[in-house]
């Protein structure tokens, strides 16, 4: 399944541009928190189910989403001189390209989080927190208290993460760049690990459709 999301650069001018898959880093986002809905035996069973070594199954899940930046049509202006019209078009195209490149740079950190697809993944989950070790990628240890932890990506951008309860499921939330959020819900489905990610950006009216990764347990991995 192909997931596409369109962002408007209204009034910036310039040509449409496709922005496809980036990769690096880790999963996750939304809002939430609060007391654990699962305790005792139920919580222990959930933690034990998530804990382990996992190998990605590239034949299932969803394809990496594509981004497409499209410009809104410019307001029609009456121009009688052909040279003036050409100059106006060139200026609008140059300004639009500059603004578009700035938008892409602002979005890069959170898109890398969202589109990351580790080949292997080691999870350790208990009442104290979640340890998330992707390969390739960066090991992240997040306390179960919901406290935010932070670090810098290879480009020096700040990335934050926390873990929280989404109903009776665990979720990781990442924030990076100019207000972008990625939420990854972790759950076991038919003895497999499913990670469902959604992305929310300031100019989006709703989160993206889920980007789903499926992993098979590697019995000899740990």
Q: Does the structure show a pLDDT above 60 at 133? A: yes
194 in a domain, yes or no? Answer: yes
CATH of the domain at 206: 2.40.128.20
**CA neighbor of 136 nearest in space, from 125, 150, 149, 122:** 122
Between 139 and 222, name the one with better pLDDT. Answer: 139
Q: Does the structure show a pLDDT above 80 at 207? A: yes
222 in a domain, yes or no? Answer: no
Containing domain of residue 189, as a range?
4-217
pLDDT for 87 equals 65
* Mean pLDDT, residues 68-72 taken together: 45
208 in a domain, yes or no? Answer: yes
What integer best gives the mean pLDDT of the chain? 73
Buried b (16+ CB within 10 A) or exposed e, 198-212: bbbbeeeeebbebbb
209 in a domain, yes or no? Answer: yes
pLDDT for 59 equals 85
* Mean pLDDT, residues 43-69 taken together: 82
Cβ–Cβ under 8 Å, residues 207 and 199: yes
Q: Does the structure show a pLDDT above 60 at 102? A: no
Q: What is the rounded distance in angstroms from the CA atom of residue 201 to the CA atom of residue 203?
A: 6
Cβ–Cβ under 8 Å, residues 209 and 2: no
pLDDT for 86 equals 63
**Total number of domains constituting the chain:** 1
């Amino acid at each position: 399944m192909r997931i596409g999301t369109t962002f408007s650069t209204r009034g910036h001018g310039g040509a449409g541009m496709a922005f496809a898959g980036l990769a690096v880093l880790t999963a996750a986002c939304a809002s939430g928190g609060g007391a654990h809905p699962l305790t005792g035996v139920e919580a222990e069973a959930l933690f034990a189910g998530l804990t382990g070594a996992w190998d990605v199954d590239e034949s299932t899940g969803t394809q990496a989403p594509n981004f497409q930046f499209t410009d809104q049509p410019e307001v029609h202006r009456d121009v009688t001189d052909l040279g003036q019209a050409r100059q106006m078009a060139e200026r609008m195209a140059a300004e639009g390209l500059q603004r578009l490149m700035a938008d892409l740079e602002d979005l890069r950190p959170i898109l890398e989080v969202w589109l990351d697809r580790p080949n292997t993944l080691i999870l350790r989950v208990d009442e104290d927190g979640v340890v998330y070790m992707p390969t390739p990628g960066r090991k992240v240890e997040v306390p179960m208290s919901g406290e935010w932890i932070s670090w810098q990506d290879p480009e020096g951008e700040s990335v934050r993460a926390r873990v929280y309860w989404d109903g009776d499921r665990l979720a990781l939330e990442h924030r990076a760049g100019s207000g972008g959020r990625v939420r990854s819900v972790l759950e076991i489905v038919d003895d497999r690990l499913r990670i469902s990610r959604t992305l929310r950006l300031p100019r989006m009216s709703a989160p993206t459709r889920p980007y789903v990764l499926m992993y098979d347990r590697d019995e000899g991995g740990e």
